[in-house]
Structure 1
Amino acid sequence: MAERGAHLTAASAPEDRPSIFEVVAQESLMSAVRPALQHVAKVLAESNPARYGFLWRWFDESFTLLDLLLQHYCLSRCSASFSENFYGLKRVALRGGRGRLATAGLPQKHHWKSLGFLVLAPYLRAKLEKLVSRLREEDDYSIHPPSSFWKRFYRAFLAAYPFVTLAWEGWFLAQQLCYILGKAWHHSPLLRLAGVRLVRLTAEDLHALERKLMGRGTAPKLSSSMTERVQLAAKKVLGGLAISLSTGLSVGVFFLQFLEWWYSSENQETIKTLTALPAPPPPVHLDHGTDSLLLPRLKTVCPLCRKIRVNDTALSTSGFVFCYRCAYSYVKSCQRCPVTGYATELQHLVKLYTPES
């Protein structure tokens, strides 16, 4: 059934129109890069919080900046995003862009629209998902008073968010179904909003891209000056660096996909069962009996407020115990453990129940 459907899809589509499998594969390529890089930033932040802690706290902004530079370069040089160019696709304007070479780039209007939907849309969605997760945690812990206006607003927003997400995903699904049936030129509504569509690279595009990367067609005449020779050498070096960068990014994407699988929850459970070891003893230099400036002498005192702990809460990343409100406020603002500096989020707060309670 699936093979017959794929055959019909390929047969009914024009030659330059990519199949649904190609467009879905190029979208999944970039979606796998973000969690892999996020895990790398988390590992670095936990290994050296003082030096690499900012990578975890400002990961969304750092990744968005790198993604902006990468997508701007690819759109300018190849008329496609990084993943689209990786799968041999390019973007053309809906009007008057069919015969335009990939090396010519997109028109300015379509270029900036495409860049905004490629970079800003995923960033805003990631921020919105984090906001919804934080509001749900605050609602579960009842941070706001019952009569608070903001709490009623948060609850209304949380109640409407699943329906908004359902409508958004349904819009994309309907667009993909229309694309499969040949009723639409776009598999994504964002492409239609940007005023472009995806087509396959032609032979002329491939030759033009190769000449642009190698710096051909710029050879000086026999009577060229030293300045022209230096410029030619610099162009060859830049062409080699561009090819090396493109190859390195391609290999790096597959390596990041491997890291994402390696650190997945299913694979980690298998590793834990094979390499189960006893828990190590607590560090000696953080013992409560020492004169540490971070920890009080009494074990019942919160390291943050220096008072007897109320509503004991531990951080699963480090194991240290604080008052709930102290730990919540600190982790929410700094996203790390107050004592060890390990990268920590609100879901790492663990409520402790004593026999007396």
Structure 2
Amino acid sequence: MSFLTVGGDGSTRPTFFELIAADRLMPSLRAAVIYSLSVFAQRRPILHRLLDWEDEFFALVTAFLDRQSLANSSATFADTLYGLRRAPYAPSEPSRSLTPRQQNATLIFLVGVPYVKAKLEALHNRHRRPTEGLLGLTPRRPLVPQSSAATQQNADQREAGGNSSRWQQRLAQARALGLAAFMRLYPWLHMVQEGLSFSYQLAYLLQASPYFSPTLHILRQHVERASGQQLLLADRAKRQQRRQEITGVRSSGNFIVRLVQEGLLRAGYALSDHTRNALILAIFGFKLLEWWYTSAEDKLAAEKKLAPPPPPPPPMPAPDGVPLPSDPSLCPLCRQARTNAAMTTVSGYAFCYPCLFNFISQEGCCPVTRIPATIDSVRRLYQST
């Protein structure tokens, strides 16, 4: 089962968007898994221990999924969902599957490199100052010289500590220097790595390079669409290998040992065959539950929402103001049908624009309520016919 039709337009070169989607699948899956664990940890505090080792946990999950996919279909877990596979780059030779050595090298780059990168990023974020920018270009505070008394006290402590204390101090100084060098170099290394990835992706998009990422270039591999024949051959090879393993188990040991070993093998095969589909269903189920609870929260929030306050009453006419006509379509000033209707924002009563403009210019207030007003408070009204 894959998200895209195997074969595409007949070309073995995947599109840029297929590779981008496959490349971003595992980080998105990691975020979903960590979020799910954090939600469940609110009711099961024991899961907090798992969150403390989230990098190691997801590295093991990734290693298991990618190892099975590489062994069965010469593709990573994300590649199989989009009908892709990896092959050694040899333009003049027919496409072939990865060797076991190439699969191990691919697994190291897929699991080990992201794990080390996550640890380095966590270390940098833990020791980064709040005011530092992207490249860490923040002026450092000068070291405050110690007083002579403090210096003498430190010297006495060093002499009392002996050689072990000196080695500990040297080790602490070396760690501090190494950490300072790392904090200065890591942003630049991160920038170089992101720049290389962007350059390779741009070159692939422009069909100037067969490699989508620096990792594929180092491994001398390229990603291609998996044809139906390749998938069929891979499935046949997998079934044949499993039959050989089961036959080997049945021909060794006593009956109980053979039964246990065969049961474990078949359980592992079932887990390998259905892990991908189960994970896809779990993702869809997670999104469904997220939508369900979001809709319920929105409904509860709508029920608890307070009604808007009623509008304030209109200002009452002043005793010495212009009286209102009995017909609301007439202008209170000229007693004629309103033309070019206008109102003043301080009261809301409507007049003819020339009448209201001239009155406010002379009197500086609303004709009816006598509330102070200016020319800026006059608004034209446009009535639909």
TM-score (norm 2): 0.53
Unaligned runs of 5+ in 2: 1-7, 133-140, 145-172, 252-257, 306-385
SS at match of 1:80: coil
- Judged with a 3 Å threshold, the aligned counterparts in structure 2 of structure 1 residues 263 and 130 are, in CA distance, closer, same or farther, namely farther
SS at match of 1:47: coil
Which of 266, 270, 275 in structure 2 is aligned with 1:245? 275
Q: Distance in 1 between matches of 2:187 and 2:300?
A: 35
- Judged with a 3 Å threshold, the aligned counterparts in structure 2 of structure 1 residues 48 and 260 are, in CA distance, closer, same or farther, namely same
Q: Distance in 1 between matches of 2:61 and 2:17?
A: 27
Q: Distance in 2 between matches of 1:165 and 1:193?
A: 18
- Judged with a 3 Å threshold, the aligned counterparts in structure 2 of structure 1 residues 66 and 237 are, in CA distance, closer, same or farther, namely closer
Aligned to 1:80: 75
Q: Which residues in structure 2 correspond to 1:1-357 (within 5 Å)?
A: 15-49=11-45, 51-95=46-90, 99=94, 106-137=98-129, 147=143, 157-211=182-236, 241-255=271-285, 274=302
- Judged with a 3 Å threshold, the aligned counterparts in structure 2 of structure 1 residues 257 and 30 are, in CA distance, closer, same or farther, namely farther
Conserved 8 A contact 1:211-1:217: no
SS at match of 1:147: coil
Q: Distance in 1 between matches of 2:66 and 2:41?
A: 27
- Judged with a 3 Å threshold, the aligned counterparts in structure 2 of structure 1 residues 218 and 42 are, in CA distance, closer, same or farther, namely closer
Q: Rg bigger for which structure?
A: 2
CA drift of 1:154 comes to 5.1
CA drift of 1:208 comes to 2.3
Matched residues, percent identical? 27
Conserved 8 A contact 1:110-1:195: no
Q: Distance in 2 between matches of 1:34 and 1:157?
A: 26
Conserved 8 A contact 1:88-1:200: yes
- Judged with a 3 Å threshold, the aligned counterparts in structure 2 of structure 1 residues 170 and 239 are, in CA distance, closer, same or farther, namely same
- Per-residue CA deviation, residues 95-147 of structure 1 (Å, 9 max, x unaligned), is 49964555xxx21332122111111111111111211111125889xxxx973
Conserved 8 A contact 1:191-1:197: yes
Conserved 8 A contact 2:72-2:238: no
Give the counterpart letter for 1:54 in structure 2: R
Conserved 8 A contact 1:175-1:187: yes
Cα root mean square deviation, aligned: 4.3
Aligned to 1:347: none
- Per-residue CA deviation, residues 291-331 of structure 1 (Å, 9 max, x unaligned), is xxxxxxxxxxxxxxxxxxxxxxxxxxxxxxxxxxxxxxxxx
Unaligned runs of 5+ in 1: 1-9, 278-357
CA drift of 1:87 comes to 0.5
Q: Distance in 2 between matches of 1:34 and 1:263?
A: 21
- Judged with a 3 Å threshold, the aligned counterparts in structure 2 of structure 1 residues 258 and 64 are, in CA distance, closer, same or farther, namely farther
Conserved 8 A contact 2:200-2:211: yes
